Structure 1
Amino acid sequence: MKLETEKVRLQNACEKLFINLAPQSRIEQLLKDPLGEVREEPELERKLRVRLWDSYDIFKRTLMDVKASINEVTDRINAQKQKRSSMLRLGKALCRRSFLDNSLSSISEGVSTIEWLVNRNIELEPSRKGRFQGRFFRIIRTVAGGLHRAVHASLNCQCEHQVCLLLQQQTCDIIPTDEDGQVMENVNFRLALSYDESDSGRYWADIQAQPIARKYPSTLPSPGKEGKKSLRIAEALKNSSSTKSSHSPALTEAMNLRAVSIELERITHQPPGSLERVNLCGMMRQLRGQMGTNWSGLIAESAAKPLADYAVRSIPADSGFRQCNERNITSLNETLGQNRRYMIFSERDRLRLAVDLSSSILQLYGSPWMPTVTRSHAIYLVQSTDDPICRRFFFLKDFPYIDNSNQDFPDFNFPRNQTLFYLGVLLIELGLGKPFELLQTKQEKSKTYSRFLKDYLAARRLLHQVNNIVSPKYASAVERCLNDRNFHAAEVGLEDEKLSHDVHSGVVALLERELENTTICM
């Protein structure tokens, strides 16, 4: 009876450990042999390491000892049942009972240790993630800046290109032993690139880019001639993209993007010299008229000691990033203004964009991708002409690149953190579904106040509407962007890890919970 009780305690502790780490359908299988199953799934093992933190090895050893003791005790009990009792065996039976008592006591102690480790680590997991969020933002900003330089170097031509960086929420589970390079290689970006030929129009290509951290000293692979051996056709993905799927569009998109991520992860762990250096401009010229061709390669910064090279790969045509030449570029301001009435921009899609946008501002702050002042005029919807649903928004850069980041409010002595204040304004626009200038009254526009004061007074008034129309939680996130004293301290900017963490927990986390609630209600 005692042994069965300890088995149940152990199973309950393991079940609690796997909740929200593995699909519900997998948990029963995992409970049969936790360590064996985890060894076969590196992704799940990493999730366990994140949850158990630096006690993962202690948990693993304790679980192995407990399982071994349970098996030994079970074997002893079964052997004892098969033998008949006799006075001659009484002494041996007493010895066995003493062994069983000691073993059960050891098992109970081990299970108690496992329960304590699971409970304490689950309790501390949220604060640990938050504590390392600032470090993650610092790393991803470095990666984003390096990617811009690598794209710039790869488009070192006089051709006209537009490069659009998708606004997306990057996540990374960091464990204590992770170095910056390991964290870096879990980051990926999605880009839409265009090449303009005046005689035959504009061609678009969608790619995914992932850094490969440099380890010095290293030798760079010498770039070959433009276009020579630059294509590496991924036949499996090509065949997959040409096959009609019976899945829903959303599921198909998720499956294909997952396939691209897996392939990119494989690419990033190849030896440094095994990927061909590609010229993005030459690649787009070469692929013009070859819709659906999949390729991969390497782009690199031109800096003396770059932190990373970047593995790039085309995104399959049926993954939601449709390979087409006819695309519309519409600013978020125009989209909210409903200049194109056939467009579908639902409340949930606007909330999803609020999460992606606020996350992207934290992740890209200070990089060339992001404008100094992020207004709805500087965010773009890029989609095919026959797609009415507004889902993917981008920051857009023109190449040849000209740094005009200081042209926003050049002579304006702004009394707030501009980035956070105008994030609050953007959240008001997304919450109420209209551009800010349409939400301002004639009186507010006509006053002779400074631009900031006009915007601030309008934002304060609209905050009440946001609270009533959207939700108090959403309004709280907006309020913090507009007025939080800690956010707007003169000596602190978003480059500060603590402020980045505070904005994430005080704004992004609130928006995430609001999105979750909206999803559940639907």
Structure 2
Amino acid sequence: MKGVSTIQSFRVYKHGLKRLIQALGTEYVNLQNVYERLLVGIAPSHRIEAMIDDPFGELWREAQLLGRLRLRLWRSFKNFEDTVHDMREAVQEMMEKLGIGPDGEVEWIEHTSIRRQYKRVSFILQRSNYHDLLTRIREGVSSLQNMAIMNVNMESDRILRSQVRLNQLVNVTSNNIYHALRSTMTCRCQRLHEVGLRLTPPSRTIVPQDSDDDVIKELQFRLIISHMGPLATPSVRQWSEVLLQSARSQVREEPTTPLATKSSSSKKSVKFSVRSSVSSTNEFMQASAIIQPATATFSLGSAAMPVDSGMPQQIRDLCETMQTTEKRRSGDNCGHIQDHMSAKPSEYGVYFMDCLGDCENYVLVPLKDVLRDQSNGTLPPMLYSDKLRLAWVIACSVLQMQETPWIPSCPTHDDFYVVQKGGVPQYQNGFVLKHLPDRGGPGSTSTSTTSSARPTLLSLGIILIELILGQPLESLQPQDTPASQLSPSYEAANKFLGRVNMLGDLGISAPCNVVSVRYLKARTRRVS
């Protein structure tokens, strides 16, 4: 009779085990839903399921995705990480109390009498042994759910604030870089040097925890500079590409790998086995998998950059330095330039990247000429992907560098350039162009020459319309249009915006519409 009673009691504890498995299974599903909510919209759709099955695995460590996660989680990034690790510790403690070894096997199964096993089970499966730990897991999942929901709901406003802050830092830094270039390009060459700044879309995510100095350290500016060839062939003018980055980032620790892993020597899986119930073992192993993925912690790695060898020297004459580029390897530090006009003097490291060729085969062509040649058939029409890419980088650059020496407050198609190599336009990158040395006075750096009746957003909208239509706006107007009305205006831009909408090209017509609507609202407010 005692044996029968023992078996009946053993079944009672089996039911307790089943309830524990169900509770963990529920939290596991809830946690998967948290991961899904966190990933939708920032991770590729075809990868989401794999990332849910392997949280914080290799796919989570990509730099681009990590930046999006930081932006989405905003101030709760560290709290999210800490909560996941607290849940991991709770499950590990539960494994220890339930007698589950590192290999997932139950350690208390003995080849002895069933009564001794019963006594062991009755002690291990007492509710008080794991109730607090289960509560920690439930509260952790609930906290993650709340963080995910609230952060996703506020993401759109945060993206705007992050972008505005980044634009301000790029604006200040690009302005300082121009003055640093201007102060070191003081040669007496008969021909001015052409300095083209490559336009790039934002690639940095800013959250409240990031300091301005840290962001500026990671900003990189690529320039192409025309200069005389080596001293042996001084008559040949060439193009060289250099990279400029804050010199404050030169002395730094070795870059860390994004999403640095803090993991144990072996990847643990949870397995609970009772000889009388194999099915319960598999269920518990799946339910307890919430511990398995939480083996990594977030840490933002350093941006890739050239490595310095020793303390770089200050460049006194950039023209002379550029003539020695053929002797350098890609990534070599040429020295640093200084900006003394800002309230806080700045230094920028100059890194040689590549020799691009001579100025006869490698030319910067104004966007206006490209559009004109396309409209008259001299050049083939620009591909849709090229239009979209140029529209994106031009729009971003106008917002980032408006009213700096690089871009005037009211830019036009004359202010942007593309590379023409061997007579063939290269639409992969856009550029803005300056000529140095600037032999004018201190006020000569101002490039805002357009009428104040053409605010920045209207000017940008006109450029986007011209890009999608493939023609300068002036050439789209009737031939009998009076000369006084040929200058692009809001009315003309709004008229041709209808043609953009008829094309159904939402990739560019959408921002054109946004620009026009914002300008119309602003003008209406001024009138009222």
In the aligned structure 2, how far is the partner of 1:91 from the partner of 1:337?
A: 85
Aligned to 1:116: 146
- The verdict on how the C-alpha distance between 1:340 and 1:60 changes in structure 2, with shifts beyond 3 A counting, is same
Q: Is the 8 A contact 1:372 1:405 kept in 2?
A: no
In the aligned structure 1, how far is the partner of 2:43 from the partner of 2:508?
A: 30
Identity of aligned residues (%): 25
Matching residue's letter, 2:187: C
User: How is 1:48-127 mapped onto 2 (pairs within 5 angstroms)?
Assistant: 48-77=69-98, 78=100, 79=106, 82=109, 84-85=114-115, 89=119, 92-93=122-123, 96-127=126-157
In the aligned structure 1, how far is the partner of 2:508 from the partner of 2:342?
A: 45
Q: Deviations over 1:414-469 (max 9, x none)?
A: 4452x2222121111101001122111123x32655x65x6344323212111102
SS of equivalent to 1:127 = helix
TM-score when normalising by structure 2: 0.70
| 1:310 counterpart = 2:342 | no
Aligned to 1:426: 463
Aligned to 2:34: 13
The Cα shift of 1:302 comes to: 2.9
The Cα shift of 1:141 comes to: 0.6
In the aligned structure 2, how far is the partner of 1:378 from the partner of 1:88?
A: 84
Q: Is the 8 A contact 2:364 2:419 kept in 1?
A: yes
Segments of 5+ residues of structure 1 without an aligned counterpart are 216-259, 492-522
Matching residue's letter, 1:114: L
The Cα shift of 1:490 comes to: 8.9
The Cα shift of 1:47 comes to: 4.9
SS of equivalent to 1:442 = coil
Q: Deviations over 1:255-305 (max 9, x none)?
A: xxxxx96124x55xx9xx7233334212211235x5865522322113375
Aligned to 2:206: 174
Q: Deviations over 1:208-243 (max 9, x none)?
A: 21224599xxxxxxxxxxxxxxxxxxxxxxxxxxxx
The Cα shift of 1:199 comes to: 6.0
- The verdict on how the C-alpha distance between 1:60 and 1:303 changes in structure 2, with shifts beyond 3 A counting, is same
In the aligned structure 1, how far is the partner of 2:56 from the partner of 2:429?
A: 39
User: How is 1:27-426 mapped onto 2 (pairs within 5 angstroms)?
Assistant: 28=50, 34=56, 47-77=68-98, 78=100, 79=106, 82=109, 84-85=114-115, 89=119, 92-93=122-123, 96-159=126-189, 160-196=192-228, 200-213=235-248, 262-264=304-306, 274-278=311-315, 279-287=317-325, 290=327, 294-296=331-333, 297-303=335-341, 305-316=343-354, 322-325=356-359, 326-338=361-373, 341-342=378-379, 345-385=382-422, 387-401=424-438, 402=440, 403=444, 405=446, 408-409=449-450, 412=451, 414-417=452-455, 419-426=456-463
In the aligned structure 1, how far is the partner of 2:197 from the partner of 2:377?
A: 23
In the aligned structure 1, how far is the partner of 2:124 from the partner of 2:425?
A: 80
The Cα shift of 1:103 comes to: 2.4
The Cα shift of 1:383 comes to: 3.3
Aligned to 2:482: 446
| 1:468 counterpart = 2:502 | yes
SS of equivalent to 1:315 = strand
Q: Which has the larger radius of gyration?
A: 2
Aligned to 1:232: none
Aligned to 2:280: none
The Cα shift of 1:346 comes to: 1.3
In the aligned structure 1, how far is the partner of 2:59 from the partner of 2:482?
A: 67
- The verdict on how the C-alpha distance between 1:6 and 1:480 changes in structure 2, with shifts beyond 3 A counting, is closer
Q: Is the 8 A contact 1:73 1:103 kept in 2?
A: yes
Aligned to 2:12: none
- Structure 1 residues 128-137 or 4-13, which shifts more? 4-13
Q: Deviations over 1:337-390 (max 9, x none)?
A: 127835662122112111111111111111111134322122222232254443
The Cα shift of 1:332 comes to: 0.9
The Cα shift of 1:90 comes to: 7.9
Q: Is the 8 A contact 2:393 2:430 kept in 1?
A: no
Matching residue's letter, 2:235: S
Q: Is the 8 A contact 1:184 1:213 kept in 2?
A: no
Matching residue's letter, 2:318: L
Matching residue's letter, 1:56: F
SS of equivalent to 1:337 = helix
Q: Please tell me the root mean square deviation across aligned C-alpha atoms, in Å.
A: 3.8
SS of equivalent to 1:310 = strand
Q: Is the 8 A contact 2:458 2:515 kept in 1?
A: yes
- The verdict on how the C-alpha distance between 1:32 and 1:404 changes in structure 2, with shifts beyond 3 A counting, is closer
Q: Is the 8 A contact 2:195 2:224 kept in 1?
A: yes
The Cα shift of 1:191 comes to: 0.8
In the aligned structure 2, how far is the partner of 1:300 from the partner of 1:447?
A: 46
- The verdict on how the C-alpha distance between 1:214 and 1:148 changes in structure 2, with shifts beyond 3 A counting, is same
TM-score when normalising by structure 1: 0.71
Matching residue's letter, 1:82: I
